A = this chain, B = another copy of it.
Amino acid sequence: MKQIIAGHGSGGKLMNEMIASVIKSILGPESIQIDDSAILDLPATKIAFTTDSYTVTPIFFPGGDIGKLAINGTVNDLAVMGAIPKYISCALILEEGFEIEEFESILRSMKEAADLADVQIVTGDTKVVPSGKGDRIYINTSGIGIIKNKVQRGDILQGDKIIVSGNIGDHGVTIMSLRNNLTFSSNLKSDCAALNKMIESLCNKFSDDIRFIRDATRGGVASVLNEITSNKDFSIRLDEDQIPVSNEVRGICDILGLDPLYVANEGKIVIVASQSKASDIISEMKKFPEASHASIIGDVDSLYPGKVYIETFVGGKRLLPLLVEEQLPRIC
């Protein structure tokens, strides 16, 4: 089986051939510019710009792979800012010895994800590092989106509702189960998905009633909520029995000692919305399959200013602080 060698990252023929035969043939001719930069027409003068490097291990997992993750993660980072994602760059750090067949499979999955999310991969870069200085493949995707809707950063008010777009913890628990060789339920897979179409629709219809949107990746839903309350004079109260978690995720979290509220998602958003429109927003979200389990999980109050807390099934209250460190390294 063919493998990546140092020359694939050089400025010579081997690199050009690899780019032509592998990368361009899969990602499309625009993906790896012969020029140093892509030249792009933008029908707007306000843009969103984001970057993320993906170092997830393992690189293949139920529900996706590092390539799909790299596209959808960057698409979602743009979408939650009220931007329509348009252009994506793809910079690869390949480890010598990485199987070209696996590489091609990841590129195909990037292409498929980009097509689904309606974004173009317009420029790229390839570097090769020696064995022991990388981990098969790291991918950086940067992205440009056009700001169409006003950027959602309204004041958060007492009584506002907290919404999550579906079952939480699927991505992180899938990755950790793989790493721990836990037997797999066929239902458990990463939630890795592009949410831009759903977010665009929500922004179009509920622009005045959505105060905040964020994707709940590293650190999970609890970390996003802590970011919202940090240094504010309100608190966020969660209803334990409203939080959507699949049975598989709940079971594996028990085994591994994880709290799903802190587990990374790759296809879930948290929304703070007005009390009056929260139910309508849920109805709109449920039109999209990736949000079929969207729920109102809590609200904004003033009981513990600056904090996030949860009311448990039995009526107790427990604070959900920002963790000192993620429970799960290299989840994305």
- Identify the A interface with B (CB < 8 A): 6-7, 9-16, 34-55, 76-78, 80-81, 83, 87, 89-93, 122-125, 127-130, 132-135, 138, 140, 142-145, 147, 151, 214-215, 217-220, 223, 227, 264, 322-326, 329-330
Contacts of A144 in B (CB 8 A): 47, 49, 144
Name 12 interchain pairs, CB-CB below 8 A, sorted by A: A6-B329, A9-B329, A12-B223, A13-B322, A16-B322, A36-B77, A36-B214, A37-B77, A37-B78, A41-B46, A53-B91, A55-B133
Q: Assess whether B219 is in contact with A10, with CB atoms less than 8 Å apart.
A: yes
* Chain B residue with the shortest CB-CB distance to A52: B125
**A127's contact among B9, B53, B147, by CB below 8 Å, is which?**
B53
Let me know if B6 and A325 touch, CB within 8 A: yes
Partner of A218, one of B10, B134, B140, B227: B10
**Inter-chain contacts of A147 with B (CB < 8 A):** 39
Q: How far is the CB of A124 from chain B (nearest CB, A)?
A: 7
User: Nearest chain B CB to A128's CB is how many angstroms away?
Assistant: 7
Residue of A38, A43, A54, A142 contacting most chain B CB atoms (<10 Å): A142
Identify A325's interface contact among B12, B36, B214, B264, CB under 8 A: B12
**How far, in whole Å, are A145 and B323 apart by their CA atoms in the complex?**
38
CB of A226 to closest CB in B, whole Å? 9
Nearest B residue (CB) for A85:
B37
Complex Cα distance A38/B52, Å? 13
Residues on B with C-beta less than 8 A from A15 are 325-326
A151 to B50, CA, bound (A): 25
A153, closest chain B residue (CB): B35
**For the complex, would chain A's binding face be called helix, strand, loop or mixed by DSSP majority?**
mixed
Asked if residues A329 and B220 are in contact (CB atoms below 8 Å), the reply is: no
> Contact at A89–B49, with CB atoms within 8 Å?
yes
Contacting residue for A43 out of B45, B214, B218, B322, CB 8 A = B45
Contact of A51 among B9, B91, B130, B227 (CB under 8 A): B91
**Cβ-defined contact, B45 with A44, below 8 A:** yes
Question: Which 3 pairs, one residue from A and one from B, show the smallest C-beta to C-beta distance?
Answer: A11-B219, A10-B326, A7-B325
- Which residues of chain B have C-beta atoms less than 8 A from A134's C-beta? 133-135
Is B324 a contact partner of A14 (Cβ separation < 8 A)?
yes
Chain B: minimal CB distance from A31 (Å): 11
Contacts of A135 in B (CB 8 A): 129, 133-134
Chain B contacts for A37, CB-based, 8 A:
48-50, 77-78, 80-81, 83, 143, 145
Whether B42 lies near A12 (C-beta < 8 A) is no
- Considering only CB atoms, which chain B residue lies closest to A48 in the complex? B37
11 further A-B pairs in the complex, CB-CB below 8 A; given A15-B326, A37-B78, A51-B91? A36-B50, A38-B48, A38-B49, A42-B42, A49-B144, A51-B90, A51-B123, A53-B91, A55-B93, A89-B142, A129-B138
Please give me the residue from chain B that is nearest to A324 by CB atom. Answer: B13
In the complex, what distance in Å separates the CA atom of A125 from the CA atom of B54? 10
CA distance in complex: A30, B124 (Å):
25
Minimal Cβ-Cβ distance residue in B for A214: B36
Tell me the complex Cα distance, A154–B37, Å. Answer: 17
